[in-house]
Amino acid sequence: MSRKAEYAVEIEDLTVKYGDHVALEDISLQIPRGAFVAIVGPNGAGKSTLIKTILGLVRPASGKVLVLGEPLERLDPVRVGYVPQFKTLDRSFPALAEELVVSGLRRAWPGRITRKEREKALTALERVGAAHLAGRPVSRFSGGELQRVYLARAFVRQPELVVLDEPATGIDVLGEADMYRLLEGYQKQSGATLLMITHDWEAAYHHASHVIVLNRRLIGFGPPERALSERCLREAFGHVGHAHTVALEFVRGKHV
């Protein structure tokens, strides 16, 4: 057993650059274990860059990053699950849902899956309310069904930290609400830490335990009712467009 660190993610004075472009500047934050964290901010704010840095896919220009108590070069990747922003699946891909889930247990595509692997895949699919999809071809799934299978794939190894890039994209509003509830339930059941990028402030408000408001710099971090304040949102999003006005009204309604 690895030693249990108090924080799932510890970031100190992090700056990330792409050439001369500063994508993240002087970020410091500590995410407690077991938190369900939503990251919000406008396009180009550095949200994906932040999670890519945590996954070790992007190197910091400066600063310190510890994940599950370890520096990235020492971290066992098995401890972290990743649900990429879902966009590309070749619809002619001849896989069954259970095979896609088992591929999360192995590095290579499973030729033939063992009984034990199938059991694990079924348990993971059950957790996301998708046991009935196990033996069906993924090529015919709707966006929401496929997203559940990808969640099961990330959860099958029982990671301590799960990172999700805009998991609700392409899912209808009803499916979206379901998915946030499901993530919240999974977090409570497993004790894992979840870190998710979302454009849905209302979902963040209702389901997350912590919210990161980002726009190159860290503008707010804390419980939703503190981080999703009008001041933080105005600072992050600058000029307030229609969607933001609606969202600000929502936030005001909750705070005034």
Ligand X SMILES: Nc1ncnc2c1ncn2[C@@H]1O[C@H](COP(=O)(O)OP(=O)(O)OP(=O)(O)O)[C@@H](O)[C@H]1O
Q: Which is nearer to Mg ion, 48 or 209 (CB)?
A: 48
**Phi, psi angles (nearest 5°) of residue 167:** -65, -20
Sign of CA dihedral 123, 128, 132, 137: negative
For position 41 contacting ligand X by CB under 6 A, the verdict is yes
d(CA 62, CA 25): 9
| Token pair recorded at residue 144 | 């929401």
Residue 64 CA: distances (Å) to CA of 12, 33, 94, 194: 5, 18, 43, 20
For position 69 contacting ligand X by CB under 6 A, the verdict is no
For position 46 contacting ligand X by CB under 6 A, the verdict is yes
Find the shortest distance in angstroms from Cβ 16 to ligand X. 8
163 binds, among Mg ion, ligand X, none (CB under 5 to 8 A by kind): none
Instruction: Give the binding range for ligand X (CB under 6 A) out of 47-55, 100-108, 125-133, 203-211.
Output: 47-55
- The footprint of Mg ion (CB under 5 A) covers 48
Count CA atoms within 13 Å of residue 235 on its CB side: 14
- Residue at token pair 């070069």: 73
Candidate residues 9, 11, 48, 227; the one interacting with ligand X per rule CB under 6 A:
48
For position 60 contacting ligand X by CB under 6 A, the verdict is no
189 binds, among Mg ion, ligand X, none (CB under 5 to 8 A by kind): none
d(CA 251, CA 225): 8
For position 238 contacting ligand X by CB under 6 A, the verdict is no
45 binds, among ligand X, Mg ion, none (CB under 5 to 8 A by kind): ligand X
Helix ranges restricted to H, 11-66: 47-54
Size of the site for ligand X (CB under 6 A): 11
Instruction: Give the binding range for ligand X (CB under 6 A) out of 3-11, 41-49, 134-142, 241-249.
Output: 41-49
For position 43 contacting ligand X by CB under 6 A, the verdict is yes
Candidate residues 45, 124, 133, 218; the one interacting with ligand X per rule CB under 6 A:
45
On the 0-12 / 13-18 / 19+ scale of CB atoms within 10 A, 26 is: middle
For position 167 contacting ligand X by CB under 6 A, the verdict is no
For position 189 contacting ligand X by CB under 6 A, the verdict is no
Count CA atoms within 13 Å of residue 58 on its CB side: 22
List interacting residues with ligand X (CB under 6 A): 18, 21, 23, 41, 43-49
